[in-house]
């Protein structure tokens, strides 16, 4: 389920384009990350110049993997304090934000094909008019799930994540450690409550969540959910969105408009 690999516009404009994640690179060179590197050098009693961002990132992931898989406090973790961990977490979130999340519109649109598949299957189940218990399972990776969550509008903050606003993003919703843990999953449960009362409940990682814009009911009417995503259901064509030509035309139009001004 790597639809994004077939989305030419995503591949060219984001996946293969270093400038698409420029904010991530700026944060790596910023004061917060530099302070983490200096603190590690101080703990090891070595020169600051010997600690690079790549080394810090490798140590942090070794700490995280050993803690998650073996449930041990790895010696690698001793290189970081709580504030360091928050900086490293933000760097990771920043990358996912610009690479798979809200940073670029095509990130979410690359999952249009999955979005339509989900709702077509829900429509089919809703039209059967009989009580059934069935489960449809689709397996993928975090790189598959995050664009879909983004397309559905989950965990969207009012402020864009950048290299300069780390201090104001401590309460952000877009936190991949919560959204995409190991074995992350999105479950959509369609309930038939009788007399045509069909309701849809979303659960993320086995925990109930609410559809953005439909917070009045934890399990809203299925028709309300479809109305909430009406524009996407009527559009969001994978082939159209992923055409590189469309993107180039829009970009050239903006450039011409800028010159005219």
Structure confidence at residue 260 (pLDDT): 44
Q: Which pLDDT belongs to residue 129?
A: 64
Vertex 177 angle, CA 173 and 180, to 5°: 95
DSSP 8-state symbol, 221: B
Mean pLDDT per 10-residue interval, the chain, length 261 residues = 87 95 96 97 96 95 91 91 96 97 96 95 83 69 92 96 96 95 92 88 95 88 96 95 70 52 38
Rounded to whole angstroms, the Cα distance separating 6 from 238 reads: 10
Burial 91-118 (b: 16+ CB within 10 A, else e): bbbbbbbbbbbbbbebbbbbbbbbbeeb
Cα separation values, 226 from 36, 97, 127, Å:
46, 26, 14
Contacts of 136 (CB under 8 A, 6+ apart): 121
pLDDT of residue 139: 76
Residue 226: predicted pLDDT = 97
pTM: 0.88
98 within 8 A of 144, measured Cβ to Cβ:
no
76 secondary structure, DSSP code: G
pLDDT of residue 194: 83
pLDDT given for residue 261 in this prediction: 38
What is the pLDDT at residue 72?
Answer: 86
Q: How far apart, in whole angstroms, are the C-alpha atoms of residue 148 and residue 110?
A: 9
């Amino acid at each position: 389920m790597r639809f994004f690999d077939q989305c030419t516009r995503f591949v060219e404009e984001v996946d293969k384009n270093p400038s698409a994640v420029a904010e991530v690179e700026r944060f790596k060179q910023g004061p917060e990350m530099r302070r983490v590197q200096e603190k590690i050098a101080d703990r090891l009693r070595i020169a600051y110049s010997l600690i690079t961002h790549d080394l810090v990132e490798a140590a942090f992931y070794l700490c995280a993997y050993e803690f998650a898989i073996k449930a041990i406090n790895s010696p690698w973790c001793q290189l970081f304090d709580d504030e360091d961990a928050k900086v490293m977490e933000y760097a990771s979130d920043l990358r996912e934000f610009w690479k798979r999340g809200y940073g670029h519109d095509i990130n979410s649109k690359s999952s249009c094909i999955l979005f339509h598949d989900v709702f077509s299957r829900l429509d089919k189940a809703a039209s059967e008019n009989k009580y059934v218990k069935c489960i449809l399972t689709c397996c993928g990776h975090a790189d598959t799930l995050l664009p879909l969550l983004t397309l559905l509008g989950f965990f969207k903050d009012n402020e864009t994540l950048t290299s300069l606003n780390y201090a104001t993003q401590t309460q952000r919703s877009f936190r991949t450690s919560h959204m995409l843990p190991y074995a992350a999953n999105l479950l959509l449960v369609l309930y038939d409550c009788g007399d045509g009362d069909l309701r849809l409940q979303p659960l993320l990682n086995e925990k109930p969540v609410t559809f953005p814009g439909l917070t009045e009911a934890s399990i809203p009417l299925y028709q309300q959910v479809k109305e909430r995503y009406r524009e996407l259901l009527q559009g969001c064509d994978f082939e159209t969105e992923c055409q590189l030509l469309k993107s180039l035309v829009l970009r050239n139009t903006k450039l011409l408009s800028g010159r005219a001004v």
